[in-house]
Structure 1
Amino acid sequence: MDRRLREASQKGDVHHLQSLIKEVPFLLSTVSLAGSNETPLHIACLSVHLEFAKEIIHLRPEFARELNQDGFSPLHIASANGDIEIVKELLNVDRNLCLLKGKDRRIPLHYAVIKGRKHVIKELLVASPDSAAEVTARGETCLHLGVKNHQFEAFKLLLENLKEFNKYGLLNNKDIQGNTVLHLATSTKQFEVVDLLLDENFVAKGTIEVNSLNKGGLTPLEVLLKESGDRDIEEILRTSGAVSAEHLQTSQQEGLPQSWVVPVQDPSNEQSSREQTRDDGPRSNSKKLQDFFKYNKTKDCPGKVRDTLLVIAILIATATYQTVLSPPGGVWQDTYWPDHNNSSSSDGIMSLRRIAGQSVMGTNNPISYGLFLVFNSIGFYVSLHTINFLTIGFPLQLELQISLVALIATYDTVMSAIAPNRGISLLFTIFSIVFPVFLPHITKLLRNHCKKPKFIIKICELFR
């Protein structure tokens, strides 16, 4: 583009433009040959020079359809800037400019919604009501873009337009990730949007698919709970019939109408549901606290649960391994071998043989030491088994398993070394070899075939 023409466009100098055209009559015709897609009309729209834009439109109306190097037409630019007067002038050229697709297949309405230009949105929708149904290269409607960019007023205006033209079906359109507008609103916890979408006075009941699944297999309710949840939004969703994908699939397999299963409060926690249904009386504060922190597979993200279990397992492994370094009662600091001439202490009490570095507790009370050794080792081995189980599929899995085996070998070696009794040392060696090998099979057997004894259930009920 000619330097003088660019300067005139940036300043909005109409008189300078006219003098340049008188000097070079074909000046505007050479713009398209300059190698750049940018026209004086693009620059005028960026600089918001209405009169200059009018003059260019009058001289070369075809410039209104040109896309610049960034994929924007003059109407895209004016819509994003919110310049309603330039928008009107461009629409006078051709109302179909509303449907002109630019970068990522976005139309001018999309940019007006992204920026929240309400007056421009109204003008574009009047010019082309069908533009509300246009989608971007990522499958986004203008409704998706309004929610993603937190433009509630623009979203509300679009919703009113859909109501006027009876195009509520657009509310259930999915983007490239399979997300509806409701998925996006719940993931970003936009209470106003969710409340408006599920307001029966604004949107007819049953219009919104509250249990639509995205490509991740999640309903809007599950998307909300995955993002740590919001009690108010969750209440609105559940009141409107929102459930988890698992519960939705179960109801479909049973052939039940969805309306029959909506009242279920918590599909993932049958015990909680039975307790709420029974309603024997007001719950105690301890029961309320227990219910508040109780694990719920619908609300709690599996990744966060795994992280929590890993932390707990590591703490248990650390605490049990610490006993190797500092056993109860400590270790003997000296070696003493009683003989016939020296078999009692200064107070006349018989002294036991001891070796420096061996456990004091094991020397004085072998039975207690044996019990301590077994139960502490069970805690240590189970915690390491839990760590290994929770890290299945992680990168550097081989290195991690080698480290766990080395840790077990170190534990076994030290525990055997500080045991003062050869019998205890031998039994522990056998136990430390057999138990870790059979532990995965034992836990699998208990988990699959053994149920919680009834007396334990009754004891738990007493403390609630």
Structure 2
Amino acid sequence: MDRRLQQAAESGSISDLYALIDENPCILENIDAMPFVNTPLHIAAACGKIAFSVEMLNLKPSFAKKLNTNGCSPLHLAVEKDQQELVTWLLRIDPSLAGVKGREGITLFHLLVLRGNVDLVVECLVTSPECIRDVSVTGQNALHLAVMNERFEVLQVLTGWIQRMKCRMVQRNEVNGDGLTFLDILRTHGQIDEGGELEQAALKTGCMEAASLPKLMKKTYDFFKLPITFWAYCSTHTRRISSDTSDEARGVFLIICTLLITATYQTSLQPPGGVTQSEGHAVMKQTFFIVLWLSNTIGFCCALFYTYSLLPARGLLTLWFFYIGASLCVSYALAMAVISPQPLVFLTACFALYLLFPLYVLMEVFLRQWRRHQTVAPDPKLSWFWKV
């Protein structure tokens, strides 16, 4: 690197930087061409020159993720030099910098955990929540590193954040290179857990010991050799609907499904021909009503199913829609039963239709558990008809 550029970075002089660029427009490109190098951003970050670092980040964003010969990014150096304000500035400009991996796979977030910098750990979690997924080359995640280096306050922050955010991004029971989970390490280093509060918080988040983790009973190739059951077929089909649909098509289909749900539900409230004034039953003949009830119910259920399949997210959003859809199905069944010629019969038929699929799933689970205790093979399968 040009000595004058190094001095400009150390002093934070932006005018000197542009004077050098005017003299040699390729001065930054030549540095960027080297795979491992101390860039001007490394020097400015270590010296805490915020304005110069931001200017350099605008000119060459790639410098922020480039490692020097010691395997450190600019923000790694800034953390080691306690340049907290500069780290905060750059993280807010580019939150993805929290996940830049340096030597031994240690990210900026990992380094903050190791140094016990609670403020910046929270800043990373707020601006870039996905950084908690990262692991080092030895399989250590942020929880492992915090407990092994006795960062009790950081551990409290991490476990509290996981509990409050219902975080599904972090693998709570991830096994490190030594075959230990976070809970194993916590109990080994029990002296930092004052009163056992942290262990109780870890247990509430679902943390387990490595010995308690479920073991894989079958090899992967054995799983793929098994025939596809009806349940597996439905599950695969549902995932394909969600994954193979573009965002634009998903929006259009969701609108169509919403209109179908509205139209079919409205039919249950106001059937063709209306209802009698005295008893409130549909005026149409019973045969026509059966055809209407059957076709309308199938359309209503299919629209709900495809809406569920098209939801782009999984987890809490899907769970909420499941409860809302179940409540809507109950109200639909009651509405159709009230206007039907035989309310009790049609109400029973509606709930029987709703229960067919859950009953099938329960039967599959029961037979699967029963077959595990049998020694004679092969056993008859409930889903033999659905093999593909």
Which structure is higher in RCO with an 8 Å CA cutoff and minimum separation 6?
2
Q: TM-score when scaled to structure 1?
A: 0.41
Q: Which has the larger radius of gyration?
A: 1
Q: TM-score when scaled to structure 2?
A: 0.49
